[in-house]
């Protein structure tokens, strides 16, 4: 983990972001005290998949509403009735 002053982080923010993108964690100091940590995002599909399953389950329970008198081509602008 690297520490950097707030003024230095401000001057070289794009460099800080490059380091973070490569996996480094940067602590920002103001007057010698830690005020922020910049860290890479940890991406997991677990939460996303769970949210997708919950949405699909909810939509399956929901009754359709309105008329279904349109065709796929009308929606995408590539056909007529």
Whether residue 78 is predicted with pLDDT greater than 90 in this model: the reply is: no
pLDDT given for residue 80 in this prediction: 55
pLDDT given for residue 66 in this prediction: 80
State pLDDT tens for residues 17-72.
999 999 999 999 999 999 999 999 877 667 888 889 999 999 999 888 888 788 88
- In sequence order, the 6+-apart residues with CB closer than 8 A to the CB of 13 are none
pLDDT given for residue 79 in this prediction: 60
CATH number of 2-38: 3.40.1620
Kindly list the domain boundaries of the chain, sorted by start residue.
2-38
Q: Which of 37, 1, 40 is nearest to 20 (CA)?
A: 40
Whether residue 1 is predicted with pLDDT greater than 80 in this model: the reply is: yes
């Amino acid at each position: 983990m690297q520490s950097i002053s707030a003024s230095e982080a401000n001057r070289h923010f794009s460099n800080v972001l490059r380091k973070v993108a490569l996996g480094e964690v940067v602590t920002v100091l103001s007057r010698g005290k830690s005020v922020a940590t910049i860290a890479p995002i940890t991406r997991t599909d677990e939460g996303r998949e769970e949210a997708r399953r919950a949405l699909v389950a909810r939509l399956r329970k929901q009754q359709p509403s309105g008329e279904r008198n349109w065709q796929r081509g009308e929606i995408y602008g590539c056909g007529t009735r």
